[in-house]
Amino acid sequence: KAGVTQTPRYLIKTRGQQVTLSCSPISGHRSVSWYQQTPGQGLQFLFEYFSETQRNKGNFPGRFSGRQFSNSRSEMNVSTLELGDSALYLCASSLSPVTNYNEQFFGPGTRLTVL
């Protein structure tokens, strides 16, 4: 079974631009979560989607948004990029949203560099 895939793997953008990251979950997984990983802040939860609905949101500004499609694929968008948005963005999928003890399976991440 294929794992979680994220595209692109690397991105370089300049301040003020916007960016869209894509995540394809493991087949059959319906919950997708996004995380930001930086050396200073560690792993921070961005948001979680299930059945095209955002179910949870972390403490990030409104510049960070996401969506989920009917096939469970998810996209994350960051508008008006700032230098501090440089990070590894990780997507994770899990099997069932009903029971929240399911482990998450992570993709390799998208490395975003903002110049």
Partner 1 sequence: AQSVAQPEDQVNVAEGNPLTVKCTYSVSGNPYLFWYVQYPNRGLQFLLKYITGDNLVKGSYGFEAEFNKSQTSFHLKKPSALVSDSALYFCAVRDVNDYKLSFGAGTTVTVRA
Residues that bind partner 1 (CB under 8 A): 4, 33, 35, 42-43, 45, 48, 55-56, 58, 90, 92, 97, 100-101, 103-109
Residue closer to partner 1, measured from CB, 4 or 76? 4
In the 8-state DSSP scheme, what is residue 79? Answer: -
**Smallest gap from residue 98 Cβ to partner 1 (A):** 10
CA-to-CA dists, residue 58 to 33, 107, 111, angstroms? 11, 19, 20
Residue closer to partner 1, measured from CB, 79 or 86? 86
Residue closer to partner 1, measured from CB, 42 or 62? 42
Q: Cα(82)–Cα(16) distance, rounded to whole angstroms?
A: 7
Residue closer to partner 1, measured from CB, 3 or 84? 3
Strands 31-38 and 42-50: antiparallel
Q: Do residues 12 and 28 touch, judged by C-beta distance below 8 A?
A: no
**Smallest gap from residue 89 Cβ to partner 1 (A):** 10
